DNA sequence: TGATAAACGAGACGGTACGTCCAGTCTTTCC
DNA sequence: GGAAAGACTGGACGTACCGTCTCGTTTATCA
């Protein structure tokens, strides 16, 4: 009822155009970086008029976020692996791999550049950050459930300690490889065990 | 010897102008953000011609980093506090406070946007990131020295686990307050102790 | 003294650019018409940035007027021809010829479209309209001087009756040829003689 | 026979819409000038879709001409006034008054901007220009009929000399008042009489 | 009376051009 | 002879309209 404000008047928006824009934007973002992601270039690449882009997104940052969101696909694999620590290792290796690509760097740049309060920025964080975090949370929840006491108090903190250092290293241009990933998980598991 | 390359010919560079540029850049960066930090605006604000800016810095990112570096002041207080855990708590509270400001946000944005390989970017990270990290490292070194075994292997990793989550939270626009800071230190200390 | 506000600082404006702009604008105006005289096309044609054009002229109309003014060259020939009526015939034939070209049509279109009150519009009329009118005025003055009485009262009116019908016909797309020109002069001369 | 191309199928065109368009166009033309007469603005003002406008007229110029034609109302008064010179004076005063308004200026601008060869442009000139001219022609014909010889040869030329200067002055932004009108008629009548 | 066809409003489409901002470079004069 | 300052070329911005194209809806006529 609240969404009934659109009586479906006028020519409907072209889904084809919208997708072409997102595709072109994604390509430019990955290939050339956020600084080179100009609306003009996207319009030319997508074979679309500039106003069509502005009808959906207010500026290049928003478009970049939308393009990244549209390509979110996180491997859901994880929870099934039996030794839960191994599951965590596999997941972390996956996350490290994903964020060590060009795409990963652009995600960070885009996130840092975006207006933090905008709706799209929230959606972006929800999709990209929470997307990875969710899997880790599932595994950690199972891991913690094996303990007698309920440990939910520190759950989110553990997640911060798992993913935080990765982003920190990416941001500060430090190496992030398999060894790094393994030790990060090992230390975290050790901490959790210490917490009984 | 290295400065002998300047035979002191021609009009000398104006130190006044250089400082005015850095001041104007810093002001614009903090007040309006990196996206609004244009060379043109800085030139106008500093009462200087654009080429004068370009003579020192190659682009707006470099200027932003230089302006931030020029204002680095970190409280060296730390190591003297006797219970080392309290020292760590005090330090972390300090870091959280510093990076929770507008300046802190701009540091992250600048770092994310900068060309990661440039000399100035390395200097920037050395100054800003390593600046805070150094103090933490001193405290942790003392803390670890009280143990029998040498724990240097994990030292840098502990530091990542201390600062990483903070930057991660700042990047993802999550709250970072005193409670957060305290728990971060508490958990880290617990982990270190678990490592014997 | 009032123009001493410019202490001659910075790079001087490029006369080459200014002339290239006027040339390109003139070409486009004549070839394609005022409606097709876009700033963008002129910039491209002149090999110049758009801001350089806007630094001199506020819009396409002003540029069109400036381009037309820059090409004003009216044959000064006239007054020397001895039978003054023949001089007037020659002059009128000249004016008809000039304004029957593409250039003539664009002058009228430009004049009609321009903001009538702008300084440049006044200059434009002064240059283009008054340019032709001046010669006619000289001849008519000589013609009238042969009379006993001073006829200045009607002089400007005679000029209106000489040029007015021409522009009227051009505006309304009526034919203007040699016959027209001759009869126009003949009738005017007859009127002047009737006025004694 | 020519209108039999419409088999009267489908919804008939809305006369209400057509009139609303012309009204809105006229209002915008007079109030804001031809340059501001955009199809989009007319559509909004008339509460009509853009295609409805394009169904009738090909572009803004045509619409402007149509809007001006639709409002042609010329006082037919004239020929009855007995001293024919007085009739001509009255008519000219009327014409001067009509064309000295904002509407008059827009007529000239529209005429100058229009594609001279289009059908509508011809109709426009026929309506607006010929509309005034017709009355003058009637009066002049009566005036000339009083002469012995047939003077038709110069009739159209006299008309040009009557109306031409007026449009010329309007185009060049010169004053056109009652005095001007009176003298214009006086001089023309003098010329006609001189022609015997 | 119901199908059909065209005009209707609304508004999105691919485009062009607008006038502005800023980037980074070039050409003067100034010290 | 290099620093300083402003004009330069050029690219992109975000907006206004262009003229065209769907849509769903309305209003007539024809069957």
A17 CB neighbour count, 10 Å cutoff: 17
Average pLDDT, chain B: 88
Q: Chain A contacts of B195, Cβ < 8 Å?
A: 190
- Write C49-54 long-range contacts (CB < 8 A, 24+): C52/C14, C52/C17, C52/C21, C53/C21
Q: Which nucleotides of F are covered by protein (CB under 7 A)?
A: 1-24, 26-30
Q: What is the pLDDT of residue D12?
A: 79
Is the Cβ pair D165, C157 closer than 8 Å? yes
Contact C108 D171 (CB under 8 A): yes
- For D122-165, the pLDDT digits (tens) are 999 999 999 999 999 999 998 888 765 555 788 999 999 999 99
Is residue B75 scored above 80 in pLDDT?
Answer: no
Count each helix (H run) and each strand (E run) in chain C, helices first. 10, 0
CB contact at 8 A, C17 and C52: yes
Mean pLDDT, chain D, as a whole number? 89
| List of chains touching B (3+ CB pairs within 8 A) | A
pLDDT band at residue B6, thresholds of 50, 70 and 90? very low
Q: In this complex, is the C-beta atom of B37 within 8 Å of any C-beta atom belonging to chain A?
A: no
C108 contacts C47 by C-beta, under 8 angstroms: no
Tell me the mean pLDDT in the region B185-191: 95
Q: What is the pLDDT of residue D147?
A: 65
Place of tokens 């920190």: A168
Q: How far is the CA of D18 from the C1' of E7 (A)?
A: 12
CA of D7 to C1' of E7 (A): 14
Q: Tell me whether C44 touches chain D (CB under 8 Å).
A: no
Question: Which residues in C lie closer than 8 A to residue D119 (C-beta atoms)?
Answer: none
A39-CA/E14-C1' distance, Å: 15
Average pLDDT score, chain C: 88
In angstroms, rounded to a whole number, what is the distance separating the alpha carbons of residues A150 and D34?
Answer: 77
**CA B60 and chain centroid, separation:** 18
Sign of the dihedral through C-alpha D10, D15, D20, D23:
positive
Whether the predicted pLDDT of C95 surpasses 50: yes
Q: Which of residues 38-77 of A touch strand E (CB under 7 A)?
A: 47-52, 55
- Name which residue leads in pLDDT, B11 or D94: D94
Interface residue A155 vs chain B (CB under 8 A): no
Angstrom CA distances, D127 to C73, D69, D71, D76, D96, stand at 37, 7, 10, 14, 17
pLDDT of residue C75: 60
Return the pLDDT at C144: 86
Mean pLDDT, rounded, for C156-171:
96
Asked whether the predicted pLDDT for residue A79 surpasses 70, the reply is: no
pLDDT at A153: 80
Scanning residues 69 through 88 of protein chain B, those with a beta carbon under 7 Å from any atom of strand E turn out to be none
The protein residue nearest F20 (Cα–C1') is D51
> What pTM did the predictor assign?
0.88
Q: Which nucleotide is nearest to D37 (CA to C1')?
A: F17
Structure tokens at A45: 């690449």
CA distance D48 to chain C (A): 26
| The pLDDT of residue A48 is above 80 | yes
Report whether pLDDT(C82) > 90.
no
The answer, yes or no, to whether residue B178 has pLDDT greater than 80, is yes
CB within 8 A of C2, min separation 6: which ones?
none
- A and B: number of Cβ contacts within 8 A: 99
pLDDT of residue B4: 42
For the stretch B53-66, pLDDT in tens is: 999 999 999 999 99
Give how far B38 is from chain A: nearest CA, Å: 14
Percent of chain A past pLDDT 70, that is, above it, reads 89
A124 and A65 Cβ atoms separated by less than 8 Å: yes
Contact of D175 with chain C, judged by CB distance below 8 Å, is answered with: no
Distance B16 CA to F4 C1' (A): 13
Name the pLDDT band for D14 (thresholds 50, 70, 90): confident
Long-range contacts of B22-28 (CB under 8 A, 24+ apart): B22/B66, B22/B67, B22/B70, B23/B67, B25/B63, B25/B64, B25/B66, B25/B67, B26/B67, B26/B68, B26/B70, B26/B71
DSSP-derived 3-state class of residue A83: coil
Nearest to C172 among D125, D169, D191 (CB): D125
| pLDDT score recorded for residue C113 | 93
Query: Which H or E run contains A180?
Result: helix A178-194
Q: Is the CB of C12 less than 7 A from some atom of nucleic acid strand E?
A: yes
Rounded-to-integer distance, Cα C95 and Cα C104, Å: 10
Taking the stretch 136-195 of protein chain B, residues with Cβ within 7 Å of any atom in nucleic acid chain F are none
Name the 3-class secondary structure at D70: coil
Cβ-in-10-Å burial (0-12, 13-18, 19+) of C175 comes to: exposed
**Rounded distance, CA D26 to CA D33, Å?**
10
Rounded CA-CA distance B114/B122 in Å is 10
Stretch C91-99: mean pLDDT: 94
What percent of chain A stands above pLDDT 90?
74
Residues of D in contact with C157 (CB under 8 A): 165, 183-184, 187
Mean pLDDT, residues A72-100 taken together? 82
Taking residues B7-25, report their average pLDDT: 82
Q: In this structure, is the CB of residue C11 within 7 Å of any atom belonging to strand E?
A: yes
Across C162-167, average pLDDT: 97
Is the CB of residue B193 less than 8 Å from the CB of residue B108? no
Confidence category of residue C194, pLDDT binned at 50, 70, 90: confident
- pLDDT on residue B115: 87
Find the range with the poorest average confidence among C64-78, C99-113, C165-179, D105-119.
Answer: C64-78
């Amino acid at each position: 009822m609240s969404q009934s404000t659109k009586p479906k008047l006028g020519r409907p928006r072209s889904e084809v155009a919208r997708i072409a824009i997102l595709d072109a934007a994604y390509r430019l973002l990955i290939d050339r970086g956020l600084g080179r992601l100009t609306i003009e270039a996207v319009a030319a690449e997508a074979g679309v008029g500039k106003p069509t882009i502005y009808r959906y997104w207010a500026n290049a940052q928003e478009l970049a976020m939308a393009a990244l969101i549209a390509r979110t696909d996180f491997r859901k694999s994880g929870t099934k692996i039996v030794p839960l620590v191994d599951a965590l290792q596999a997941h972390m290796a996956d996350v490290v791999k994903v964020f060590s690509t060009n795409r990963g760097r652009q995600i960070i740049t885009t996130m840092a550049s975006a207006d933090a309060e905008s709706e799209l920025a929230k959606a972006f964080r929800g999709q990209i950050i929470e997307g990875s975090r969710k899997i880790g949370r599932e595994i950690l929840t199972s891991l913690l459930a094996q303990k007698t006491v309920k440990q939910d108090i520190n759950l989110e903190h553990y997640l911060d300690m798992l993913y935080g250092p990765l982003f920190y290293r990416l941001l500060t241009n430090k190496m992030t490889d398999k060894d790094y990933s393994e030790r990060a998980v090992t230390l975290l598991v050790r901490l959790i065990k210490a917490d009984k």
